[in-house]
Amino acid sequence: MSNSLNIISANNLRSGLNVYFTQNEGQNEGQNEGETRWKSDSSLATVYSEDQLAGAFERAKQDMENNIVVDCVIVPVDDNHNPVTVREKIRAAGPSVKYGK
Protein backbone atom coordinates (compact mmCIF):
# COMPACT_ATOMS: atom_id res chain seq x y z
CA MET A 1 0.00 0.00 0.00
CA SER A 2 1.33 3.43 -0.93
CA ASN A 3 1.96 6.24 1.52
CA SER A 4 -1.16 8.33 2.13
CA LEU A 5 -1.13 11.73 0.41
CA ASN A 6 -3.03 14.79 1.65
CA ILE A 7 -3.63 18.47 0.99
CA ILE A 8 -5.09 21.09 3.34
CA SER A 9 -8.25 22.98 2.48
CA ALA A 10 -10.15 25.83 4.13
CA ASN A 11 -12.50 28.68 3.27
CA ASN A 12 -11.26 32.21 2.72
CA LEU A 13 -12.70 34.34 5.51
CA ARG A 14 -13.47 37.31 3.24
CA SER A 15 -14.90 35.61 0.17
CA GLY A 16 -16.04 32.28 1.60
CA LEU A 17 -14.46 30.46 -1.35
CA ASN A 18 -12.52 27.22 -1.03
CA VAL A 19 -8.78 27.70 -0.80
CA TYR A 20 -5.84 25.31 -0.58
CA PHE A 21 -2.65 25.57 1.47
CA THR A 22 0.54 26.11 -0.49
CA GLN A 23 3.92 26.17 1.12
CA ASN A 24 6.44 27.89 -1.11
CA GLU A 25 9.25 28.98 1.17
CA GLY A 26 10.83 32.33 0.30
CA GLN A 27 8.34 33.34 -2.41
CA ASN A 28 6.16 35.54 -0.22
CA GLU A 29 8.75 38.08 0.90
CA GLY A 30 7.30 41.57 1.26
CA GLN A 31 3.72 40.34 0.96
CA ASN A 32 1.11 39.26 3.48
CA GLU A 33 2.29 35.66 3.71
CA GLY A 34 -0.99 34.34 5.12
CA GLU A 35 -2.98 35.74 2.21
CA THR A 36 -0.60 34.50 -0.48
CA ARG A 37 -0.14 30.94 0.78
CA TRP A 38 -3.82 30.05 0.16
CA LYS A 39 -4.74 29.42 -3.48
CA SER A 40 -8.16 28.84 -5.01
CA ASP A 41 -6.80 26.20 -7.41
CA SER A 42 -6.49 22.79 -5.75
CA SER A 43 -3.82 21.73 -8.25
CA LEU A 44 -1.48 24.33 -6.67
CA ALA A 45 -1.86 22.87 -3.17
CA THR A 46 1.21 21.41 -1.52
CA VAL A 47 0.85 17.64 -1.14
CA TYR A 48 1.96 16.13 2.16
CA SER A 49 2.74 12.58 3.17
CA GLU A 50 1.53 11.37 6.57
CA ASP A 51 4.83 12.20 8.27
CA GLN A 52 4.80 15.83 6.95
CA LEU A 53 1.14 16.53 7.60
CA ALA A 54 1.10 17.43 11.31
CA GLY A 55 3.56 20.32 11.00
CA ALA A 56 1.87 21.71 7.89
CA PHE A 57 -1.58 21.51 9.50
CA GLU A 58 -0.29 23.47 12.51
CA ARG A 59 0.95 26.23 10.16
CA ALA A 60 -2.41 26.25 8.37
CA LYS A 61 -4.26 26.52 11.70
CA GLN A 62 -2.20 29.64 12.52
CA ASP A 63 -3.94 31.32 9.59
CA MET A 64 -7.28 30.38 11.16
CA GLU A 65 -6.18 32.04 14.38
CA ASN A 66 -5.12 35.12 12.35
CA ASN A 67 -8.58 35.29 10.70
CA ILE A 68 -7.38 34.60 7.16
CA VAL A 69 -9.23 31.30 6.68
CA VAL A 70 -11.81 29.22 8.52
CA ASP A 71 -12.43 25.49 8.84
CA CYS A 72 -9.06 23.96 7.92
CA VAL A 73 -9.47 20.32 6.94
CA ILE A 74 -7.16 17.57 5.78
CA VAL A 75 -8.12 16.27 2.34
CA PRO A 76 -6.89 12.85 1.18
CA VAL A 77 -5.79 12.87 -2.48
CA ASP A 78 -4.89 10.18 -5.00
CA ASP A 79 -1.54 9.77 -6.76
CA ASN A 80 -2.58 12.47 -9.27
CA HIS A 81 -3.33 14.87 -6.38
CA ASN A 82 -7.09 14.80 -6.96
CA PRO A 83 -9.40 14.74 -3.91
CA VAL A 84 -10.62 11.24 -3.04
CA THR A 85 -13.90 12.02 -1.27
CA VAL A 86 -17.06 13.12 -3.08
CA ARG A 87 -17.41 16.13 -0.78
CA GLU A 88 -13.94 17.43 -1.64
CA LYS A 89 -14.38 16.71 -5.36
CA ILE A 90 -17.46 18.95 -5.33
CA ARG A 91 -15.68 21.65 -3.29
CA ALA A 92 -12.67 21.60 -5.65
CA ALA A 93 -14.98 22.13 -8.65
CA GLY A 94 -16.22 25.40 -7.15
CA PRO A 95 -19.68 26.63 -6.18
CA SER A 96 -22.48 24.56 -7.69
CA VAL A 97 -24.71 27.65 -7.75
CA LYS A 98 -23.27 31.04 -8.68
CA TYR A 99 -24.14 33.88 -6.31
CA GLY A 100 -26.88 36.17 -7.65
CA LYS A 101 -28.19 33.79 -10.31
Give me the DSSP letters along 59-94: HHHHHHHTTSEEEEEEEEE-TTS-B-SHHHHHHHH-
List per-residue pLDDT tens for the chain, 101 residues long: 356 999 999 999 998 889 999 987 544 444 455 567 999 888 899 999 999 999 999 999 999 999 999 999 999 999 988 999 998 888 888 777 776 65
Model pLDDT, residue 3? 62
Model pLDDT, residue 12? 93
Model pLDDT, residue 30? 43
Model pLDDT, residue 73? 96
Q: Which residue ranges make up each domain of the chain?
A: 5-93
How far lies 54's CA from each of 18, 87, 93, in Å?
21, 22, 26
